[in-house]
Amino acid sequence: MCGIVGYIGYRDAYPIIIKGLHRLEYRGYDSAGIALFDKQLKVFKKAGKVVDLENFVKDVELGGSIGMGHTRWATHGAPSDRNSHPHSSGDRKLTIIHNGIIENYGIIKETLINKGHVFKSDTDTEVLIHLVEDIQEETGLDLREAVRVALNKVIGAYAIVIMSADEPDLLIAARKGSPMVIGVGKGEYFIASDATPIVEYTKNVIYLNDNEIAFVRREDLLIKNIDNTVQTPYIHELDLKLEMLEKGGYDHFMLKEIYEQPRSIRDCMRGRIYPQEGKVQLGGIKEYTEKLKNIDRIIIVACGTSWHAGLVGEYLIEEYARVPVEVEYASEFRYRNPIITEKDLVIAISQSGETADTMAAIELAKEKGATIFGICNVVGASIPRTTHAGVYTHAGPEIGVASTKAFTAQVTVLTLMAFYIAQQRGAITQSKLVELLTGLNEIPELVEKALKSDDHIKKIAAKFKDSTNCLFLGRGSSFPVALEGALKLKEISYIHAEGYPAAEMKHGPIALIDADMPVVFIATKDSSYEKVVSNIQEVKARSGHVIAIVTEGDTEVKGMADYVIEIPASGEAFVPLLATIPLQLLAYHIAVMRDCNVDQPRNLAKSVTVE
Ligand code: G6P
């Protein structure tokens, strides 16, 4: 959802900015641009990926130790050279990069056009920089003040950086609703949408808050609130290692992240479970233990893959903690008038911690008095800073746009939460908890085992790579797994795929089944096994091709499915964590065989900071 990078210091700015843009490319990749001050203000921009921008400027001398760059995910205006960022003022002395949306840009643009401003792009961003220019012309205010006044006039979300030809030792950065991190070096500062472009230069970062403006020069940094009060920033230390941001020998980040799951699930549980004692410890929500005893209901809000994790959470929490759970798309929840009381607990799930709809849902629930927990992966992101309490997933940076290890880490945290709430509310016996935690503790090893089917899955992928449609069916907590399997396939291979509760197939999707339709069943040995077996027969009777995820040693489904993929036996509660693995690999291999850009699928972005 657009990535922004800025640098001011003593090093060459260009390589730092380009490298940073590559790191942030997961946020958007339809066009890219840079601005540098090298004796004069220079701006270069191009539709396409960051590499296209690099080729575009390869013969240009790009010096200077101050600059900024942008990688775009189009909102207003199609991807094109002229809609790429940076955007400049009429006199070309000011230039801006922006992540977010200026909602009232239309009315401001109209006023500015009437005053003689001429716009070169279709973007909302260009309006903002013309507004700053206009304020300066009309009032004679200096740039810092003009930016502050302009930001008071706009409605919407933004993380921006502004450069001026007249003040070549200044970057002005501001945020409202879109993320922004400032790296603090010695005689240098870095600005970025997240910490990944910064980590190799400094571990000291400031997370800019909403409505803050930073005036960044080589030797000093001044942060003010939009109402002009000076702020004292808090410097955090990053817990991020450079190797986490590299492919580490894998062909794609997605494959690396699939293979990281034994580790990421283990990291997620570390220090949180004590199987022999039958104890779950969640430091992030400890203070709310009393509250958990008295809640009436849990509402889970999330988007995309995180919403699927929420659905798994619903099964687990209702089963073990016996609290009613509702799972809502954040985007729908916020535009109803939901009934929320102080006795509700809202759990917001978000890998990035920045999703705009999830943020807005949190604000709404907060206004209505609910307690809000977050389950996030990116430390220090907006959502974990907005919620009352929460639990990080600790999956490490997820770079592939299709979420994999973040999903299994979210499901792991929800499993822990279900057990924790059950424990606090006395809904579970100690011996059952010992049994469950012992089972959970083995999951990283079993995931490792599930990954061993990779070659077999690759062969199955080869058979179905040219399919145009695919159905994914499961029951109980395997239904969200089916949804997630379908989402993975459609996101990265562009094959139309639907996830359905297996029994619902008879109410519509069965009409689609013919000899060209692959149907993926999650048919593990659990409480709905027999029913799923019947559903498989219904598909076979209509000539559908069945690929079944089965429990190791299964013979019944093996006898009727065209292909089976075994996963290790586990307690029923943990099937989602294991059954997801082959579906991720299936989608991955099919996408690779179709020559798709696995890590950066078309039209998608990893972090959706617009509504
Ligand atoms: C985008 C990403 C998905 C992700 C969803 C929610 O659509 O491409 O992978 O599941 O946003 O993101 P969040 O960061 O809130 O989990």
596 is catalytic: no
The average pLDDT across 350-362 equals: 94
The average pLDDT across 330-342 equals: 91
pLDDT digits (tens, 9 = 90+) for 147-196: 999 999 999 999 999 999 999 999 999 999 889 999 999 999 999 999 99
Query: In sequence order, what are the beta bridge partners of 27?
Result: none
Is the shortest distance between the CB of 100 and ligand 1 below 6 Å? no
Query: In sequence order, what are the beta bridge partners of 206?
Result: 182
For residue 122, give the 3-state DSSP assignment.
coil
> Distance between CA atoms of 397 and 264, rounded to whole angstroms?
10
Q: Which of 2, 303, 376, 470 is catalytic?
A: 2
Residue 3 has pLDDT above 90, yes or no: yes
pLDDT digits (tens, 9 = 90+) for 409-428: 999 999 999 999 999 999 99
Confidence of residue 511 (pLDDT cuts 50, 70, 90): confident
Residues 6+ apart with CB under 8 A from 285: 292, 373, 389, 390, 391, 417, 420
The average pLDDT across 14-18 equals: 97
Is the shortest distance between the CB of 355 and ligand 1 below 6 Å? yes
Contact yes or no for 69/94 (Cβ under 8 A): no
Q: Residue with the nearest Cα to atom 1 of ligand 1?
A: 606
The minimum-distance atom of ligand 1 relative to the CA of 378 is 14
pLDDT digits (tens, 9 = 90+) for 281-309: 999 999 999 999 999 999 999 999 999 99
Query: In sequence order, what are the beta bridge partners of 497?
Result: 470
Residue 378 has pLDDT above 80, yes or no: yes
Residues 6+ apart with CB under 8 A from 288: 371, 373, 388, 389
Residue 248 has pLDDT above 90, yes or no: no
Q: What is the DSSP letter of 127?
A: H
The vertex-276 CA angle with 275 and 279, nearest 5°, equals 55
Is the shortest distance between the CB of 358 and ligand 1 below 6 Å? yes
Helix (H) or strand (E) segment spanning residue 9: none
**Closest C-alpha to 156, from 139, 131, 138, 181:** 131
For residue 193, the number of C-alpha atoms closer than 13 Å in the C-beta half-sphere is 34
Is the shortest distance between the CB of 483 and ligand 1 below 6 Å? no
343 is catalytic: no
The average pLDDT across 383-407 equals: 95
Confidence of residue 379 (pLDDT cuts 50, 70, 90): confident
Residue indicated by tokens 């094109």: 80
**Closest C-alpha to 181, from 66, 24, 25, 387:** 24
Residues 6+ apart with CB under 8 A from 530: none
Length of the chain equals: 611
Instruction: Give the mean pLDDT of the chain.
Output: 95
Sheet holding 344-350, edge to edge: 325-329, 297-302, 344-350, 371-376, 389-392
The minimum-distance atom of ligand 1 relative to the CA of 491 is 8
Residue 400 C-alpha to ligand 1 middle, in angstroms?
11
Residue 609 has pLDDT above 80, yes or no: no
**Closest C-alpha to 522, from 579, 584, 476:** 579
pLDDT digits (tens, 9 = 90+) for 323-334: 999 999 999 998
pLDDT at position 249, please?
87
Is the shortest distance between the CB of 377 and ligand 1 below 6 Å? no
pTM for the whole thing? Answer: 0.86
Contact yes or no for 413/281 (Cβ under 8 A): no
pLDDT at position 268, please?
96
Is the shortest distance between the CB of 306 and ligand 1 below 6 Å? yes
pLDDT digits (tens, 9 = 90+) for 185-204: 999 999 999 999 999 999 99
pLDDT digits (tens, 9 = 90+) for 215-242: 999 999 999 999 999 999 999 999 888 8
Percent of the chain with pLDDT over 90: 88
Q: Which of 42, 109, 176, 606 is catalytic?
A: 606
Residue 301 C-alpha to ligand 1 middle, in angstroms?
12
Query: In sequence order, what are the beta bridge partners of 70?
Result: 4, 33
* CB atoms inside a 10 Å sphere around CB 403: 28
Confidence of residue 569 (pLDDT cuts 50, 70, 90): very high
Is the shortest distance between the CB of 304 and ligand 1 below 6 Å? yes
Helix (H) or strand (E) segment spanning residue 56: helix 50-56
The average pLDDT across 28-36 equals: 93
The average pLDDT across 11-34 equals: 94
Residue 493 has pLDDT above 90, yes or no: yes
The minimum-distance atom of ligand 1 relative to the CA of 604 is 8
Residue 429 has pLDDT above 90, yes or no: yes
pLDDT at position 586, please?
98
Residues 6+ apart with CB under 8 A from 432: none
Is the shortest distance between the CB of 415 and ligand 1 below 6 Å? no
Residue 607 C-alpha to ligand 1 middle, in angstroms?
6
Residue 245 has pLDDT above 90, yes or no: no
Residue 406 C-alpha to ligand 1 middle, in angstroms?
10
User: How does 333-363 read in b/e, with b if 16+ C-beta sit within 10 Å?
Assistant: bbeeebebeeebbbbbbbbbbbbbbbbbbbe
The average pLDDT across 468-481 equals: 96
For residue 131, give the 3-state DSSP assignment.
helix
pLDDT at position 76, please?
79
pLDDT digits (tens, 9 = 90+) for 74-100: 887 888 999 999 999 999 999 999 999
Helix (H) or strand (E) segment spanning residue 38: strand 31-38
Confidence of residue 371 (pLDDT cuts 50, 70, 90): very high
- Maximum CA pair distance of the chain? 81
Is the shortest distance between the CB of 424 and ligand 1 below 6 Å? no
Q: Residue with the nearest Cα to atom 13 of ligand 1?
A: 350
pLDDT at position 578, please?
98
Residue 262 C-alpha to ligand 1 middle, in angstroms?
21
> Distance between CA atoms of 584 and 255, rounded to whole angstroms?
9
Residue 606 C-alpha to ligand 1 middle, in angstroms?
6
The vertex-11 CA angle with 8 and 12, nearest 5°, equals 95
Cα of 207 vs its chain's centroid, Å: 18
More confident residue, 434 or 601: 434
Residue 351 C-alpha to ligand 1 middle, in angstroms?
7
Confidence of residue 606 (pLDDT cuts 50, 70, 90): confident
Is the shortest distance between the CB of 601 and ligand 1 below 6 Å? no
